[in-house]
Structure 1
Amino acid sequence: MCSELRSWPIFNSLEPKFVSQIHMVFVYGKLGNEALIVTKDKMVYGLGNDINGCLGIGNENVTLELKKVEALCGKDIKTFACGSGHVLALTKEGEVYSWGYYHRGRLRDGIIDDNDTFMLNTPTLVKHDIIDIACGSNHSVVLTKDYKIYMWGNNKYLQLGYFHSQHCFCKNEENCGRKSSLILEPTFKDTPILAFFKEMKVVYVSCGGTFTIVITENGDVYSCGYNCVGQLGRPSNNDLDNMLRQVDFFNDAVKIVCGFEHTLALTNGREIYAWGGNNNGQLGIGNKQCSSKPILVKYKLQRIKWIDIAALPCYNISVALSEEGRAYVWGDCCGQSILTPTATSFSNVHDAIAYYGPSVMHKPLVLYMNKEPSVLESLKAAFDESSTSDLKIQVEGQFIHVHKAILKIRSEYFKTMFQHDWIENNQNVIKHDQFSYVVYKAYLKYLYIDAIDLPLEMVSELLDLAETYCEKNLKQTCIQMIKQGITASNVEYFYGIAVKYTLEELQEFCIKFALNNHKLALLYADDFAKQVQNIIKPFITKACEVSNLVILSLKDNAHLK
């Protein structure tokens, strides 16, 4: 399985040969049980539950096998977007296709029937000249090449931005004060939205469950739709407040993402502001209070520089990527309410959402399996590669293939060695017998990849090598690895190692570990207690010696006075 797809269980059954041909994937559905796959030859496949026809493969309910989405095959797919029961696809040529379940009405001879439902189980062309798409639960938004927006779908909460009085669902239409209709097909004619943005360019669109947010060219933010918890970024007193209005706080937004009832904005200054619903802490402000006013998101009271944000229109999780390349999460994470940004071990947003979120994607994942390898990847592949090496090191009768230039650059030990005459005589084999083959190979590999590939129980021998070869960086890496691997059963052993090599930092760490984890004595009984005593005893002895010296010094000073 490709490492970029391991976080998504729906792909586990795919054959490796097919996986190697994948260009893009998009996982959606309530349980991440639906997926669209685009291959390098522009074939599009559906996989999983075909709920409401959302795979676009025709009349299928469930497909455990790959099925072609015939209407999209051969198209150069740019991105996908999905709502609670419908999907949009955008091609690089600017074509938008839609399919899925349309409820609360359909177009029939130009008249919307509120009591009817229908399903498009194959993609249907909607519009040309589009550069971006977004979906709410039951509405859609597209951005054209000339930076105008069109919206269609359910307009119950004015998520389409304006009152539309052409049709009304109320029995008493004359007395209806809410002239909003269900627009299930974009007319792409002049609308109040086009008139509103006549002199402005819209550059970014995003949808929440029942609301819409856009950014204009100058960084202004506008919102419309349901505003029950302030998700529009302003207080709401009546239905008119749900129409398209500016969020006054902003003039430098570069990206907006929406959850079900909350909004995140990334500014040009790489800050994040949040507003709206907060029942799971999705605003990241340290509590569960909703806010109709944008609030600055901080990490442990610090202002981190952010480079990306993500949310899902039907969920309450928030994700951000820091300038250092670490993903942070908050909100509804694995069923827990996380109230402030929390650092993860992931370096990309997709993996963070897959692990902490609902196992669906906020946007398609493009695989880069064809990209050129990085310098580190190339070095890793070159290690112990006989076809390119110019030097063999023999340890315990086994050869390790390396490159003289790399060893000379990375190690003072080898740099000094290569200054002797043997290098000029084209000597290409070195024999070593001071350390074991496994440890010496791990050392040489460290020079290539800057990481230790060795079991913890053998790191002490590698530390001995680092001392012998005066490898300071390797020594520190060994110490860090030991710290991470210390347990109640090995703390005494590694304390002995620390004493042997006069590693005061490691000695202190072992002592603190023993003291802070004294409760483990209940598990290890007398054995652990003896270990703690063996560690602390010399420490106390040393402390007493130091104390006596201090007392004597004080006495001498007092005597002199």
Structure 2
Amino acid sequence: MTNMHDVAKWPIFSLMDSELLNSIYQACVFGSGGNEAIFTTSDGDVYALGNNHNSCLGLGDVQSTLVPRKIEALCGKGTTLMAFGSGPHVVVATNTGELYSWGHNGYCQLGNGTTSHSPERMAPCLISNNLGGCLITHVACGSHHTLVLTNKGEVYAWGYNNCGQVGSGATANINAPRKVSSLLSGKKITALACGQTSSLALVDNGEVYGWGYNGNGQLGLGNNVNQPSPCRVSSLTGVVISQIACGYAHSMALSDEGVLYSWGANSYGQLGTGNKANLVTATRVGTDIGRFVEIAATHYSHISAAMLQSGAVYMWGQCRGQSVTTPILTKFTCLDDVFACFSSPAVTWRSLKFETFVGRRALEDSLKNSFDNQEASDLKIVLDGKSIHVHKAILKIRCEHFRSMFQSHWDEDAKDVIDITQYSYPVYHAFLEYLYTDTVSVDPEDAIGLLDLANSYCETHLKRLCELIIKQGINIENTATLMAAAIKYEAQELEDFCFKFAVNHMTAVVQTDAFHNLDEVYLKEFLNKAAQWGAFKY
């Protein structure tokens, strides 16, 4: 399943010209009332609108605006990442590795080398790149500090450091990017998250490290002692974590098997444990709901959200002023909508990449309702004795395979019934529905067959969606099967993902029937690769 962001749910965009609205590539909404926004367009321009508190719109002045204005200094720079602190300050990264910042600088949070007494910066200022020429893959901000992750898996930080949130080993403010080392040295970091005054980092082997303020137990160390250097979240030992998130003063982690953990402050029920007691160690949440595939929180608020493998979205914590202590099911289809509608303030938890716009809704609904509608169709596709009603014109527009099939010199062009024998009904139904909706909803096992189809029909986007479904549905029992499918269909990234999961759960995986049924040649290659990975060290 793929999720669509709905720009209409964010009020700050409601007055925008439709042409500019439809050109948005990515955006973030921030501010004490969710009343400020920055966005980039598909042609590389960068705009801002809103209150302009502390000149955080980067426009070079203090004027508020309801009409988007260009941030001239960033237009054409290739902005790829955007993050904001509640201080407020804003940090963006470009595709060439440049970092820019602007806004409040009372605590060195702009990272441009100026002291804490420097005035607020009203326009983007280039941060001196002392990151070894690396590209930036992730940016995260707390209230007054910033973390960036490089493509080498290294972490740099700067800003307010009164609780050790910059990870320097001390508590003096840091006015320029400094590498976070200590226990992170030699480890490849894959993700970052910031609370108001705390920091988390995820290592590629599934370990989680935290540092900074720990008064509410948000570092998960079993105590309330602040940490000026990274410490491993000991309460997650033995669990392979794939995602991390931080709220104002609480933390969450998601394991590679879809188990959700939370810890830290809980005065609004943001831990989802059914009560309001703080926790100093990671605790499993929502164990009776299902397998989680995505989690979300923001340092601006006390709300938490998570999505199940089925696509169902749950939320808990401070939801529009109410304290919800147990995850409740919503009608949303993506986590971003939780924050647009229920977070206080309504700010984004990550940069949005808009895929659905107001002007396209009617067309999308019409196409969706036309799928498998016998009255309007001009073609019936039959599989396993079951029929699917479609439209030749739509299939030709959406798929090269059908453009080739429905040519005047081919028999299929004159037919109104076509039999398909090489694929199962669920797989082909999912494929045809994808052509109408751009979404896919199948279980991991059928996703393997759909991956085969996508590979044969050269449908690259569909192939990526299938890989995502398989990743979200991997477990001990099906790991070897999914890994074999990835090899067969030359999905290298998926193969690597399955291999890593197998190594992290080696003892259990090698005892499954699927593993015993692996091709002998590949089985030997797998064991050799696992040995090189270090799986058999003792």
Q: If the TM-score is normalised by the length of the shorter chain, which range does it land in? A: 0.5 to 0.7
Q: Answer yes or no: is the 8 Å Cα contact 1:5–1:11 preserved in 2.
A: yes
Which region of structure 1 is more displaced relative to structure 2, 10-19 or 208-217? 10-19
State yes or no: 1:73 paired with 2:51.
Answer: no
Q: 2:92 aligns with which of 61, 66, 89?
A: 89
Partner of 1:185: 176
Partner of 2:320: 334
The Cα offsets for residues 363-419 of structure 1, whole Å up to 9 and x where unpaired, read as: 111122599x999864546899xxxxxx9xxxxxxxx854253799359xxxxxxxx
Flag structure 1 segments of 5+ consecutive residues without an equivalent.
Answer: 165-179, 385-390, 392-399, 412-425, 429-447, 450-561
Which region of structure 1 is more displaced relative to structure 2, 97-106 or 55-64? 97-106
What is the alpha-carbon distance in structure 2 between the residues aligned to residue 55 and residue 275 of structure 1?
A: 34
Q: 1:255 aligns with which of 240, 243, 247?
A: 243
What is the alpha-carbon distance in structure 1 between the residues aligned to residue 139 and residue 200 of structure 2?
A: 12
Change (3 A) 1:285 1:69: same
Cα drift, residue 184 of structure 1: 2.1
The Cα offsets for residues 285-336 of structure 1, whole Å up to 9 and x where unpaired, read as: 00000000101011xx605100100001121000001100011000000110
What is the alpha-carbon distance in structure 2 between the residues aligned to residue 62 and residue 27 of structure 1?
A: 15
State yes or no: 1:320 paired with 2:328.
Answer: no
Q: 2:380 aligns with which of 381, 384, 405?
A: 405
Change (3 A) 1:379 1:245: closer
What is the alpha-carbon distance in structure 2 between the residues aligned to residue 136 and residue 325 of structure 1?
A: 29
Flag structure 2 segments of 5+ consecutive residues without an equivalent.
Answer: 390-413, 417-435, 438-538
Partner of 2:406: none
The Cα offsets for residues 112-136 of structure 1, whole Å up to 9 and x where unpaired, read as: 45xx252111112223522111100
* Residue aligned with 2:175, SS: coil
Cα drift, residue 63 of structure 1: 1.0
State yes or no: 1:155 paired with 2:161.
Answer: yes
Partner of 2:464: none
Q: What is the letter of the counterpart of residue 162 of structure 1?
A: S
What is the alpha-carbon distance in structure 2 between the residues aligned to residue 360 and residue 254 of structure 1?
A: 24
Q: What is the letter of the counterpart of residue 140 of structure 2?
A: A
Q: What is the letter of the counterpart of residue 39 of structure 1?
A: T
Q: Answer yes or no: is the 8 Å Cα contact 1:329–1:341 preserved in 2.
A: yes
Q: Answer yes or no: is the 8 Å Cα contact 1:34–1:48 preserved in 2.
A: yes
What is the alpha-carbon distance in structure 2 between the residues aligned to residue 67 and residue 33 of structure 1?
A: 15
The Cα offsets for residues 411-470 of structure 1, whole Å up to 9 and x where unpaired, read as: 9xxxxxxxxxxxxxx9x9xxxxxxxxxxxxxxxxxxx99xxxxxxxxxxxxxxxxxxxxx
Q: What is the letter of the counterpart of residue 409 of structure 1?
A: S
What is the alpha-carbon distance in structure 2 between the residues aligned to residue 63 and residue 131 of structure 1?
A: 31
Change (3 A) 1:92 1:108: closer
Q: Answer yes or no: is the 8 Å Cα contact 2:297–2:303 preserved in 1.
A: yes
Q: 2:188 aligns with which of 201, 223, 226?
A: 201
State yes or no: 1:233 paired with 2:226.
Answer: no
State yes or no: 1:98 paired with 2:101.
Answer: yes
Count of paired positions: 375
Change (3 A) 1:46 1:198: same
Q: Answer yes or no: is the 8 Å Cα contact 1:330–1:338 preserved in 2.
A: yes
What is the alpha-carbon distance in structure 1 between the residues aligned to residue 110 and residue 368 of structure 2?
A: 61
Q: Answer yes or no: is the 8 Å Cα contact 2:109–2:145 preserved in 1.
A: no
* Residue aligned with 2:336, SS: helix
What is the alpha-carbon distance in structure 2 between the residues aligned to residue 159 and residue 335 of structure 1?
A: 28
Partner of 1:125: 126
Whose Rg is larger? 1
* Residue aligned with 2:122, SS: strand
* Residue aligned with 2:181, SS: helix
Cα drift, residue 16 of structure 1: 1.4
* Residue aligned with 1:17, SS: helix
Change (3 A) 1:139 1:108: closer
Q: What is the letter of the counterpart of residue 133 of structure 1?
A: V
* Residue aligned with 1:364, SS: coil
Q: 1:294 aligns with which of 271, 277, 282?
A: 282
Using the size of structure 1 for normalisation, the TM-score is 0.62
Partner of 1:35: 37
Q: What is the letter of the counterpart of residue 47 of structure 1?
A: L
Partner of 2:420: none
What is the alpha-carbon distance in structure 1 between the residues aligned to residue 77 and residue 66 of structure 2?
A: 24
Partner of 1:530: none
Q: Answer yes or no: is the 8 Å Cα contact 2:183–2:231 preserved in 1.
A: no
Change (3 A) 1:154 1:381: same
State yes or no: 1:141 paired with 2:147.
Answer: yes
Q: Answer yes or no: is the 8 Å Cα contact 1:331–1:339 preserved in 2.
A: yes
Q: Answer yes or no: is the 8 Å Cα contact 2:218–2:250 preserved in 1.
A: yes
Q: CA RMSD in A?
A: 3.2
Q: How does 1:345-494 map to 2 (within 5 A)?
A: 345-357=331-343, 358-369=345-356, 378=367, 380=369, 402-403=377-378, 405=380, 409=387
Q: What is the letter of the counterpart of residue 28 of structure 1?
A: F
* Residue aligned with 1:263, SS: strand
Change (3 A) 1:410 1:332: same
Partner of 2:295: 309
What is the alpha-carbon distance in structure 2 between the residues aligned to residue 339 and residue 303 of structure 1?
A: 15
Cα drift, residue 52 of structure 1: 1.0
- Identical aligned residues as a percent: 34
Change (3 A) 1:108 1:5: closer
Cα drift, residue 60 of structure 1: 3.0
What is the alpha-carbon distance in structure 2 between the residues aligned to residue 285 and residue 369 of structure 1?
A: 34
* Residue aligned with 1:184, SS: strand
* Residue aligned with 1:350, SS: helix
Partner of 2:254: 266
* Residue aligned with 2:104, SS: strand
Report 1 or 2 for greater relative contact order, CA contacts < 8 Å, sequence distance ≥ 6.
2
Q: What is the letter of the counterpart of residue 122 of structure 1?
A: A
Which region of structure 1 is more displaced relative to structure 2, 119-128 or 140-149? 119-128
Which region of structure 1 is more displaced relative to structure 2, 122-131 or 142-151? 122-131
Cα drift, residue 68 of structure 1: 0.5
* Residue aligned with 2:380, SS: helix
Q: What is the letter of the counterpart of residue 5 of structure 1?
A: V
Partner of 2:529: none
* Residue aligned with 1:243, SS: strand
Cα drift, residue 55 of structure 1: 0.9
Change (3 A) 1:238 1:26: closer
Q: Answer yes or no: is the 8 Å Cα contact 1:94–1:131 preserved in 2.
A: no
The Cα offsets for residues 321-355 of structure 1, whole Å up to 9 and x where unpaired, read as: 11000110000001100001100001100112111
* Residue aligned with 1:10, SS: helix
Cα drift, residue 243 of structure 1: 3.2
Q: Answer yes or no: is the 8 Å Cα contact 1:227–1:242 preserved in 2.
A: no
The Cα offsets for residues 2-22 of structure 1, whole Å up to 9 and x where unpaired, read as: 981110111111111222222
The Cα offsets for residues 173-221 of structure 1, whole Å up to 9 and x where unpaired, read as: xxxxxxx2111222x4xx5x32532221111111000000111121111
Q: 2:28 aligns with which of 23, 26, 44?
A: 26
What is the alpha-carbon distance in structure 2 between the residues aligned to residue 48 and residue 335 of structure 1?
A: 23
The Cα offsets for residues 10-45 of structure 1, whole Å up to 9 and x where unpaired, read as: 111111122222222211111111011211101110
Cα drift, residue 144 of structure 1: 1.3
Q: What is the letter of the counterpart of residue 181 of structure 1?
A: A
What is the alpha-carbon distance in structure 2 between the residues aligned to residue 101 and residue 108 of structure 1?
A: 11
